[in-house]
Structure 1
Amino acid sequence: MSAEETARRVEAVLDRLAAHDDPDVPAAAEELVRDLMEFYGTGLGRLLTLVSTADGTPPPALLDDACVAGLLVLHGLHPEDAPTRIARALRTAGAADAVVEEFDASTGALRLRREGGGCGGTADATRQRIADALACHAPEVTGVDLRQAAPAPPLLQIGTRPPEPVPAGAAPDGRTAAP
């Protein structure tokens, strides 16, 4: 189950509890979620410390795993900054050729330019793969604008034509010589 799907399910349960007649029920549910989050966050932090190398760097396999990365981000434990996690998400989604043009941290808007061509169906599938990877690796990205780069203009060859063979009996400029 992805971090995004889990968040939706927890939110749905909390919404159902909020509709309960007893106002203490939703408050208790939210307190339970906060306590569990704190407990799991503390445990993840300790685990991260135990598996990290001497310089404090976690193994790359942990940061590449979408579920683990999502948990680390959720608990504020991910060692990478947002631009690094965005780049990791693009690699994970198979869109390493996408170039980040702008990321607005205040709104969560990410504008990408994708080099190379592709049909509309491919662009839609790529956009979805990118959105899925970002949901785990960089959930602060709330919107993605993926643009295809303009195709390169065709190359124009500037030069002279190869000389055409001069017919027999013709002058060197190609005119027929007078008899």
Structure 2
Amino acid sequence: MTAEQTGLRIQEALDALADSGAGQAGEQLVRDLMEFYGEGLARIVPALPPPALERMLDDPAVAGLLLLHDLHPEDLAARIDRALAALPERVEVLGFDPATGTLRLRRTASGCGCGEQDVEAALACHAPEVTALELERTPRLLQIGTRPPLPAEAR
């Protein structure tokens, strides 16, 4: 289950509790559990050997948990690079506007192409600060090669 799916399920449960009048108790329960898990993760992360932590950062669920508890060791640029490296097609970061949350990208190689939804999914757990994408489309170039050899009778 992704962090987004979990968040939606928790929100649905809190909404149901609010309808029954127990909304505040449900919200307090979520806060207490978050604090408990955050304290545990804060003790685990520094104890991990760097190679093990590095491998775990590629897992969207682990990355999402570390971000949620402000324990992720990488800065935003590194997390964006990590998310984009998982895509089947290479893209270049042109810039990020923190005021709007907009990430500007350009495809660097032609191929079958990944859509914005693929890029958004890759960024969701690694860089939730990115809330909008501008994906610059590079025109496909026609490759001109040499003419095929003429048949012997045409020479």
Q: CA–CA distance in 1 between the matches of 2:52 and 2:134?
A: 31
Instruction: Give the secondary structure class of the aligned counterpart of 1:76.
Output: coil
Instruction: Give the secondary structure class of the aligned counterpart of 1:145.
Output: strand
Cα RMSD (Å):
2.1
Larger radius of gyration: 1
Give the structure-2-normalised TM-score: 0.82
- Unaligned runs of at least 5 residues, structure 2: 145-155
Taking only the aligned residue pairs, the percentage that are identical comes to 47
- Unaligned runs of at least 5 residues, structure 1: 156-179
Tell me if structure 2 keeps the 8 A contact 1:116–1:148.
no
Instruction: Give the secondary structure class of the aligned counterpart of 1:16.
Output: helix
Q: Name the structure 2 match of 1:78.
A: 72
* Cα distance, 1:153–1:94 mapped onto 2, change above 3 Å: closer
Q: Which amino acid aligns with 1:98?
A: V
Q: CA–CA distance in 2 between the matches of 1:11 and 1:93?
A: 30
Q: CA–CA distance in 2 between the matches of 1:147 and 1:8?
A: 31
Q: Which amino acid aligns with 2:15?
A: D
Q: CA–CA distance in 2 between the matches of 1:37 and 1:15?
A: 18
Matched, 1:19 2:19: yes
Aligned residues: 144
Q: Name the structure 2 match of 1:158.
A: none
Which has more helix, going by share of residues?
2
Tell me if structure 2 keeps the 8 A contact 1:14–1:26.
yes
Q: Name the structure 2 match of 1:66.
A: 60
Shift of residue 34, structure 1, vs aligned partner: 0.6
Q: CA–CA distance in 1 between the matches of 2:131 and 2:15?
A: 22
